[in-house]
Amino acid sequence: IIITNTNLSTGTETSGRADNRAFDELRKMKIEAGVLERADGSAYLEIGGNKVLAAVYGPRELFVRRLMQPNKAVLRCKYNMAPFSVDDRKRPGPDRRSVEISKLASQALTPAVFLEKFPRSTIDVFIEVIEAEGGTRCAGITAASVALADAGIPMRDMVVACAAGKSDGKVILDLSEVEDKEGQADVPIAIMPRTGEITLLQMDGNLTEEEFEQALDLAINGCKIISEKQKAAIKNRYGDE
Ligand code: UDP
């Protein structure tokens, strides 16, 4: 994988994207840490039309014996979309998609956490999508990492997630809902930016090998930009203390 360190384009050239973004431009975003009182750690994230809350509880005792690990904690994730988060009302409760995203979010975050420090415990991560506009799994994972850091949970790195894909025949960064739905491919990834280790890699649709490499490079660069916003969110919360 060739990781290019190109900065974002200025967006001055016409990209043909619905919102006029350059092919390698993220949607506008913001991240705030520590937005909930009762959670041990929390974060609020907006990217484009996505609004996502993440809450972390724990490490705390795990009472479900079949899940308990004698030598480490388990990290459980629950991803949920609010019924009002999409144009068509989303039927409340878990469905196949939310169960899948919960599982992969847990898998994406787990390698970053020093779970062995908390035997027989659980760390519970809740991802609540308040409004969705494409890319909620990535937004959720990114917010959840900030919430884990906000909870003071020891981590190797803050996992960060971002997608690239192909829409209208072009390989582009951070697909919006329209670009995702009308597009040819979506490649969400999560990485630990310090080492570049990939903790999530999915692909929906079709890409040539070359397009896949391009999409991966774009997504990795997107992750690096978002990673700085994660760090800024934590610094904003704790910087003055
Ligand atoms: N979406 C929707 N209804 C649903 C699930 C998804 O309208 O029940 C929309 C939502 O905007 C979401 C997008 O479709 O962000 C793409 O969904 P996908 O399953 O690809 O996951 P995501 O891109 O959100 O991680």
Going by alpha carbons, the residue nearest to atom 19 of ligand 1 is 97
Contact in structure between 204 and 174 (CB atoms under 8 Å): no
| The pLDDT of residue 11 | 46
- pTM for the predicted model, two decimal places: 0.94
Mutate to test the pocket of ligand 1, among 51, 77, 79, 86 (most ligand atoms within 8 A of CB): 86
**In whole angstroms, how far apart are CA 1 and each of 28, 53, 112, 155, 198?**
27, 32, 22, 25, 12
| The pLDDT of residue 135 | 98
Which mean pLDDT values do the consecutive 10-residue runs of the chain (241 residues) have?
A: 47 75 98 98 98 98 94 98 97 97 98 98 98 98 98 98 97 97 97 98 97 98 98 92 59
Cα separation, 125 vs 40, whole angstroms? 10
Cα 86 to averaged position of ligand 1 atoms, centre (Å): 8
86 CB under 6 A from ligand 1?
A: yes
Q: Which of 126, 111, 124 is nearest to 52 (CA)?
A: 126
Cα 180 to averaged position of ligand 1 atoms, centre (Å): 9
**In whole angstroms, how far apart are CA 8 and each of 43, 44, 84, 171, 222?**
25, 24, 33, 15, 9
Residue 175 CA, closest ligand 1 atom number: 23
Cα 66 to averaged position of ligand 1 atoms, centre (Å): 32
| The pLDDT of residue 16 | 86
Cα separation, 63 vs 58, whole angstroms? 13
| The pLDDT of residue 241 | 59
Going by alpha carbons, the residue nearest to atom 23 of ligand 1 is 135
Mutate to test the pocket of ligand 1, among 45, 47, 179, 180 (most ligand atoms within 8 A of CB): 180
Going by alpha carbons, the residue nearest to atom 17 of ligand 1 is 134
| The pLDDT of residue 4 | 43
| The pLDDT of residue 148 | 98
Going by alpha carbons, the residue nearest to atom 3 of ligand 1 is 86
| The pLDDT of residue 13 | 57
| The pLDDT of residue 234 | 98
137 CB under 6 A from ligand 1?
A: yes
| The pLDDT of residue 9 | 53
